[in-house]
């Protein structure tokens, strides 16, 4: 979408770099999810004797922060191009606001991360008691 709206060399470079990073990150997290246990069937049959699985809370913590950073980079990507537009400043601010509506996704991801850290600190008791 960004390339259709802003067909510039700078935007193309940014989109391709972020696209590669996000794709590689997706592939890595997918592979870790699939092979989180040895043997693999232990992931969906926890009573299976032998083998071991990754700590899911550490996995979710390790995945959350890079996802938030990726989202911020994706959201910030069009700001340079928006500020180069030949439109009045209030209109530029309005256009930025429309693009930054996706920032709500970052806020939700941060709330999720905070909830996960609270859950870990309280050993599964979300009431905090």
Please report whether residue 37 resides in a domain: yes
Contact 74, 16 (CB under 8 A): no
Is the CB of residue 14 less than 8 Å from the CB of residue 77?
yes
Q: Where are the alpha helices (DSSP H) in the chain?
A: 2-5, 9-34, 56-76, 79-83, 89-99, 103-121
Residue 127 lies in a domain: no
Residue 69 lies in a domain: yes
Model confidence, pTM: 0.75
Cβ–Cβ < 8 Å for 18, 77: yes
Number of structural domains in the chain: 1
- pLDDT digit string (tens) for 29-66? 999 999 998 888 888 888 888 888 888 878 888 888 89
Q: Which residues of the chain fall below pLDDT 50?
A: none
Domain extent for 33: 2-121
Q: Does the residue 128 lie in any domain?
A: no
Q: Is residue 126 part of a domain?
A: no
């Amino acid at each position: 979408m960004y390339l259709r709206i802003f067909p510039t060399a700078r935007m193309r470079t940014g989109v391709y770099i972020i696209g590669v990073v996000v794709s590689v990150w997706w592939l890595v997290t997918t592979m870790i999810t699939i092979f989180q246990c040895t043997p693999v069937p232990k992931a969906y049959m926890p009573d299976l004797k032998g083998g071991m699985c990754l700590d899911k809370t550490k996995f979710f913590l390790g995945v959350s922060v890079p996802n938030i950073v990726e989202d911020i980079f994706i959201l910030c990507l069009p700001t340079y191009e928006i500020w180069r537009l030949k439109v009045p400043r209030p209109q530029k601010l309005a256009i930025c606001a429309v693009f930054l509506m996706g920032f709500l996704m970052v806020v939700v991801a941060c709330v999720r991360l905070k909830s996960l850290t609270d859950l870990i600190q309280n050993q599964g008791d979300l009431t905090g008691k």
